[in-house]
Amino acid sequence: MRIEVSVNGAPRAAEVEPRLLLVHFVREHLGLTGTHWGCDTSNCGACTVLLDGEPVKSCTLLTVRTDGHEVTTIEGLWSGTELTPVQEGFHQEHGLQCGFCTPGMIVTGTAFLERNPDPTEAEIREAISGNLCRCTGYENIIKSIRWAVEHPARSRESRVGSRE
């Protein structure tokens, strides 16, 4: 079946089998391997992408379902020159160990802060409850998202300067 989908802001047309899951489409057909393929059972959240701005698990989504919609992967969050506040937060607070869950955590965390820019710690914990960290590094992941809350995008330049 032929589909037309916007991926990271760019229109993409493809001929896909109806049973092709979105995680395989973005990784194998589009080469966007930042989205990780984890448990395959909609538990772990490593495959999280944004569908029309909302975080969803791409292992449980038919690619054909995205026809006419917008998909954003971890690659689409990056401007190409500087890190987003959530990405920078993971850097500053050592929010990753093996890194496997990180794309899903960052996509989920970014969408969450768009809706709730000043969350409590409990709200952050709830927001990432569909994303599993196999290193169990949750404390630093929560601190990383907290860091982004305290350093919204506007103050970025001074932050980058102070790091270097």
Candidate ranges 38-46, 95-103, 137-145, 147-155; the one touching other proteins (CB under 8 A): 38-46
Interface residue with other proteins, options 6, 12, 29, 64 (CB under 8 A): 64
57 binds other proteins per the rule CB under 8 A: yes
d(CA 8, CA 127): 23
d(CA 75, CA 98): 19
48 binds other proteins per the rule CB under 8 A: yes
Interface residue with other proteins, options 33, 43, 92, 97 (CB under 8 A): 43
Residue 4 CB, nearest distance to other proteins (Å)? 14
- Taking CB under 8 A as the criterion, which residues in 16-35 touch other proteins? 17-19, 21, 24
d(CA 78, CA 80): 5
152 binds other proteins per the rule CB under 8 A: no
Report the relative pairing of strands 2-7 and 10-15 from DSSP bridges: antiparallel
CA dihedral 127, 35, 157, 53 (to 10 degrees): -60
127 binds other proteins per the rule CB under 8 A: yes
Interface residue with other proteins, options 9, 11, 41, 79 (CB under 8 A): 41
d(CA 119, CA 138): 16
36 binds other proteins per the rule CB under 8 A: no
**What residues have CB less than 8 Å from 69, skipping those under 6 apart?**
5, 6, 51, 52
Residue for token pair 């409990």: 122
d(CA 92, CA 72): 24
Residue 64 CB, nearest distance to other proteins (Å)? 6
By CB under 8 A, name the binding residues for other proteins.
1, 17-19, 21, 24, 40-43, 45, 48, 51, 54-57, 60-62, 64-65, 108, 112, 126-127, 129-131
